């Protein structure tokens, strides 16, 4: 099998290495490749990288995702698009439309969908252990200067022209809460550049979501927390489940009992699972775990959060 990788930043290099480890021939394009993995065949452009491939991985800067995904889809090439699917909902919708028209398999690389913690949380909710869900909360915080390699100011995270900002960067949390709690009908939010980081994008986002079920959701994301913090809280009328990323545990508390689930995992395994799921979907013609429609839904919520923050009003997603 031959697969194109468009973009050789940290995500693109990771995907390329994982593909090579599966005996896949990898052609790649990046306008300024840095330390490409051994074995990658470098192309001189997007079109030449796509020549003769059976699939493509889009790992270019966020602002290029839509154009590069469309370039592959126009040729009928299945695509795995790094998160976010696109930087705006209209562009994401175009990717969804073209994939459907061409009947091409396509996925979004939401690796946390393969983490044992999220799988356990989803099972707890769907099995009825928690009862009716009333509150869901997802959180992420880490100092951008420690998170990104090299000069953080030059990373896509720090730059609006590359589609940066904590909302799109941490869209995993948005996808997570949608996967666990369902569609969102209404959003209110605040987004700001609160820290001294030399960036031109938001580094703090806090949102209140109202789900179609009537449950409420809380999202808090930031680029300046000194130590890594990530987790999820699900509160039902029968029990509460709290995932602590650093501890690698989910604590389930009910009125008369409490127990802990071990969900410790190597996050690198989730990236490998993304590739295996995508290649399997392409080979078998089955749907991938994270569809383009779900990627579009996450982008729409991010867009609504930004609009709610800038306008100072609630934004409806119902209908």
Q: Give the residues across from 218 on adjacent strands.
A: 137, 208
The residues of the chain that CATH labels 3.40.50.720 are: 2-104
pLDDT recorded at residue 73: 98
Cβ-based neighbours of 56, under 8 Å, separated by 6 or more: 3, 4, 5, 6, 49, 50, 68, 72, 77, 78, 79, 80
Please give the Cα distance from 177 to 220 (Å, whole number): 12
Please give the Cα distance from 194 to 220 (Å, whole number): 13
DSSP SS3 for 290: coil
Q: Which CATH class is domain 2-104?
A: alpha beta
Q: Is the dihedral of CA 154, 158, 161, 166 positive or negative?
A: positive
pLDDT recorded at residue 319: 72
pLDDT recorded at residue 23: 97
The residues of the chain that CATH labels 3.30.360.10 are: 112-271+298-316
Contact 197, 100 (CB under 8 A): no
Q: Which CATH class is domain 112-271+298-316?
A: alpha beta
* pLDDT tens, per residue, the chain with 319 residues: 999 999 999 999 999 999 999 999 999 999 999 899 999 999 999 999 999 999 999 999 999 999 999 999 999 999 999 999 999 999 999 999 999 999 999 999 999 999 999 999 999 999 999 999 999 999 999 999 999 988 999 999 999 999 999 999 999 999 999 999 999 999 999 999 999 999 999 999 999 999 999 999 999 999 999 999 999 999 999 999 999 999 999 999 999 999 999 999 999 999 999 999 999 999 998 889 999 999 999 999 999 999 999 999 999 998 7
pLDDT recorded at residue 34: 86
pLDDT recorded at residue 285: 86
Contact 223, 143 (CB under 8 A): yes
């Amino acid at each position: 099998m031959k697969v194109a990788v468009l973009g050789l930043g940290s995500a693109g290099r990771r995907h390329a290495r994982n593909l090579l480890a599966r005996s896949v021939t990898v052609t790649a394009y990046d306008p300024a490749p840095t330390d490409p993995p051994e074995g990658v065949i470098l192309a001189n452009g997007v079109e030449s990288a796509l020549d003769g491939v059976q699939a493509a991985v889009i790992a270019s800067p966020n602002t290029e995702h839509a154009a590069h995904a469309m370039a592959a889809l126009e040729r009928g090439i299945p695509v795995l698009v790094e998160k976010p699917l696109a930087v705006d909902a209209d562009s994401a919708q175009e990717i969804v439309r073209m994939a459907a028209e061409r009947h091409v398999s396509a996925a979004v690389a939401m690796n946390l969908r393969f983490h044992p913690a999220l799988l356990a949380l989803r099972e707890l909710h769907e099995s009825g252990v928690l009862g009716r869900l009333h509150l869901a909360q997802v959180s992420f915080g880490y100092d951008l200067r420690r998170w990104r390699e090299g000069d953080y100011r030059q990373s896509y995270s720090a730059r609006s022209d590359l589609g940066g900002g904590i909302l799109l960067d941490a869209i995993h949390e948005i996808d997570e809460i949608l996967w666990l709690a369902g569609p969102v009908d209404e959003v209110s939010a605040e987004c700001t550049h609160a820290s001294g980081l030399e960036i031109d994008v938001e580094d703090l986002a806090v949102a209140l979501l109202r789900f179609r079920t009537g449950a409420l959701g809380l999202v808090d994301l930031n680029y300046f927390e000194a130590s890594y913090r990530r987790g999820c809280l699900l509160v039902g009328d029968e029990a509460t489940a709290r995932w602590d990323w650093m501890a690698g545990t989910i604590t389930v508390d009910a009125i008369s009992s409490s127990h802990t689930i071990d969900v410790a995992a190597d996050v690198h395994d989730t990236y490998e699972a993304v590739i295996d799921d995508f290649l399997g979907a392409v080979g078998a013609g089955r749907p991938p775990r994270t569809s383009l429609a779900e990627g579009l839904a996450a982008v729409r919520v991010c867009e609504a959060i930004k609009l709610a923050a800038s306008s100072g009003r609630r934004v409806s997603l119902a209908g």
